[in-house]
Amino acid sequence: MVAALGRNCATSGPPYLLYTYLAYNSCVQKFYDNAVPAAGAQHSSGGVRVPARLTIGGVQIPPATVLAPMAGITDTVFRRFIREMGGCGLLMTEFTSADGLVRRKDKKAKRYLHFYGDEHPIAAQLFGSNPESMAEAARTVEELGFDLVDLNLGCPAKKVVKCNGGSGLLRELPVIRKIFEAVRGAVRIPFTVKFRAGWSERELVFRELAKMAEDCGLDAVSMHARTREQGYSGAARWEWIAEMKSLVSIPVIGNGDIRTPEDAAAMVAATGCDGVMIGRAAASNPWIFRQIAQYTETGRYDVASRADRYEMIRRYFRMLIDEGFPDAPGKMKQFASWFTHGEEGGAKLRKAIYEAKSAEAIADSVDRFFELEAELETEAVSVGAAAAEVSTLPMAAETVGSEVWD
Ligand SMILES: Cc1cc2nc3c(=O)[nH]c(=O)nc-3n(C[C@H](O)[C@H](O)[C@H](O)COP(=O)(O)O)c2cc1C
């Protein structure tokens, strides 16, 4: 089972994937309990666009957009799915326990960090608090052919924090320095770090952390501009990203609350960041990277039609089944829910797929849903209704917004 490998920092306990997914989602829930307007509503880009290229170490990343690591989501199928859609510069794995990887340096490890040739450039993300294990795990990542290795200092999940991984380390800067030095000394591929701004607003560490990363020879820093204490509440503090950018000369990747191409451009304009990282929005609007690329080039972008959405879900399902993931039905349910949020009748579909027992039954429910919708659209056209409006979805901000993760 792919998900099981090396993902517990304790030797026993619930499967890491499920645990982390739930932990992250409980944070995400909080984010939407405190829903804020889409970031683009508060910032404007004044004509600034996302850069066409980002260079990290020697690795070229065109364009300067990154799929955020998301446990339970950014597996090889989702990553390739996003890559095929176009416009995403860098892919990242879900985070992986360095200790687990070192303990089980065998076939299973390779399977867990499995990726395909068309995923380059790709970064593997590791978490852990032991410098030696981190260094050894980073060497494994390099041997496996990843283009970059990333250290996670952002995960707020209690179980990870308890083992001093993820955002737990934000209170242990001397340990972080040791990890930075050990990993830097162990690999030649670019080494990056992703963190939250600090444990709490009173304990912000992003300034020291970014400078330490640069001193220790790391090649880039990414920040989700919230504190650990914040979870997903409130708005991401883009001004912290701007401040960080002014302190270091290695590339800075900004992350937090990008929901639309306008948001991405606005973050670059507001912070001067060298690249943008997108998480939740990609899960319900996988076109977002392509839309950003189009917006960069032309100042406008296409929105997905209902037919596009249907085709996209079917293709993703096909890819999941072809990959032979044992949890394909679970993932199909999860994605069918997200991808149909904001759709008329979506609640009924979600109920049907929740009750479905197999991959085929889930696919059938989705087929029925879209076929029925297509019939309704045809009827609307025949009576001269405003069919064009029915066939285009509202922009991502509305479909990606607060309900998606509820
Ligand atoms: C379900 C879920 C899983 C996540 N897993 C990871 C992870 O494995 N590693 C990590 O660094 N961040 C993880 N994150 C955080 C995201 O990478 C990102 O920093 C955060 O969602 C903010 O970006 P956004 O506003 O674009 O979603 C996760 C977030 C979610 C919602």
Select which of 155, 163, 216, 273 is catalytic: 155
- Name the percent of the chain lying above pLDDT 90: 53
End-to-end CA distance of the chain: 28
Query: Which residue ranges have their beta carbon within 6 Å of ligand 1?
Result: 21, 24-25, 28, 68-73, 94-95, 125, 152, 154-155, 194, 224, 255-258, 278-281
Atom of ligand 1 nearest to the CA of 259: 26
Each residue of 248-295: pLDDT tens digit?
999 999 999 999 999 999 999 999 999 999 999 998 899 999 999 999
Output the pTM of the full model.
Answer: 0.84
Mutation choice for ligand 1 from 50, 280, 284, CB with most ligand atoms inside 8 A: 280
Could you tell me the two tokens for 206? 């992003």
**What is the pLDDT, as a whole number, of residue 337?**
80
Kindly report whether the peptide bond that precedes residue 63 is cis, defined as omega within 30 degrees of 0: yes
**What is the pLDDT, as a whole number, of residue 355?**
87
Residue bearing the bigger pLDDT, 171 or 394: 171
Distance CA 252, CA 219 (A): 9
**What is the pLDDT, as a whole number, of residue 110?**
61
Could you tell me the two tokens for 203? 């304990």
Model confidence at 152, pLDDT cuts 50, 70, 90, reads very high
Q: Establish whether 273 is a catalytic residue.
A: no
Q: Does residue 240 register a pLDDT over 70?
A: yes
Q: Do 278 and 258 touch, CB atoms closer than 8 A?
A: yes
Could you tell me the two tokens for 162? 């308890």
Sheet of 252-255, strands arranged across: 65-67, 275-278, 252-255, 220-227, 191-198, 148-153, 122-127, 91-97
- Name the percent of the chain lying above pLDDT 70: 75
**What is the pLDDT, as a whole number, of residue 220?**
98
pLDDT averaged over every residue in the chain = 81
Residue bearing the bigger pLDDT, 3 or 209: 209
Mutation choice for ligand 1 from 34, 66, 193, 224, CB with most ligand atoms inside 8 A: 224
CA of 280 to the centre of ligand 1 (A): 7
Residue bearing the bigger pLDDT, 335 or 22: 335
- Nearest-CA neighbor of 69 among 8, 126, 2? 126
Distances (CA, A) of 101 to 75, 127, 140: 17, 10, 8
